[in-house]
Amino acid sequence: MKFAVELTNSSKKFKQTIVINELSLQVRTGILFALIGPSGGGKTTLIKMIMGMLKSDTGTVTALNKKVPNKQLLHDIGYMAQADALYTDLTGQENLEFFGKMYAMSKKELQDRITYASNIVDLADHLSKKVEDYSGGMKRRLSLAIALIQDPPLLILDEPTVGIDPLLKLKIWQELTQLKNQGKTIFVTTHAMDEAEKCDEIAMLREGSIIATGTPFDLKQQFNAADLDEVFLQAGGETQ
């Protein structure tokens, strides 16, 4: 499997607004891939199309060699939404257990995965607390732990590190790199250019189209920029 995610001429229109416009994108298997772009540029819509939560109006979407939408495919995708979708009246442990049970796992396996995932996001000591007592960053971390719960080969994370302090952010990125080294494909959206810098490949999404792709190095050369911030600004300014 060469590409973990592949979109060909995919579009999405809401009423009269075109959000994704004839977009084609290929994400190689086993890399850390960042989707960057301004707010309202269609990043979340694109993610939902890959997940099969939204159906592409045109073209095809393929993930892990399966044509989207496909319910079985969801088994193999760890998803973290932009907004924390957690049951705040339940504890962290109960949230993890509940979402974990959506994937075929033995009880033992589930407990092991809960321990693993909560350790990565540094929440192991707070699992018995109700989520309504969590801070914003803790909720974000719990969402990430839920995305990791079934040990999926493909991770799709919509702005995973918003509201997380620099130290933990570093730890999470180290872990994402580690997961990548295990052969997983990680697809993140981000606003933080220092994070995009850590990725193998970047695609820049603007007004529903991919305006630039490549390694961070490629992009900097292409735009003749010193850093990715400059690339972001230049690419953004180009079409204005």
Q: How far apart are CA 231 and CA 208, in angstroms?
A: 18
- Confirm or reject binding of residue 134 to another protein (CB under 8 A): no
- Position among 37, 42, 52, 153 found at the interface with another protein (CB under 8 A): 52
CA–CA dist 213, 160 (Å, integer): 21
* Secondary structure of residue 31 in the 3-state scheme: coil
The residue among 84 and 195 lying less far from another protein, judged by its C-beta, is: 84
Told to check if 89 binds another protein by CB under 8 A, we report yes
Instruction: For another protein, give the closer residue by CB, 86 or 231.
Output: 86
Q: What is the size of the binding site for another protein (CB under 8 A)?
A: 30
In the set 16, 17, 39, 72, which binds another protein (CB under 8 A)?
72
The alpha helices in the chain, defined as continuous H runs, are 43-51, 92-100, 107-120, 136-148, 166-181, 193-196, 216-222, 228-238
**3-class DSSP assignment, residue 76:** helix
Residue 235: CB atoms within 10 Å = 21
- Tell me which H or E stretch contains 188: strand 185-190
Check binding of 90 to another protein (CB under 8 A).
yes
Does residue 117 interact with another protein by CB under 8 A? no
* Interaction between residue 85 and another protein (CB under 8 A): yes
Measured from the CB atom, the residue of 23 and 49 that comes closer to another protein is 49
Q: To which residue do tokens 């809960």 refer?
A: 114
Q: Which is nearer to another protein, 2 or 108 (CB)?
A: 108
Enumerate binding residues for another protein (CB under 8 A): 51-55, 69-72, 74-75, 77, 79, 81, 83-90, 94, 97-99, 101-104
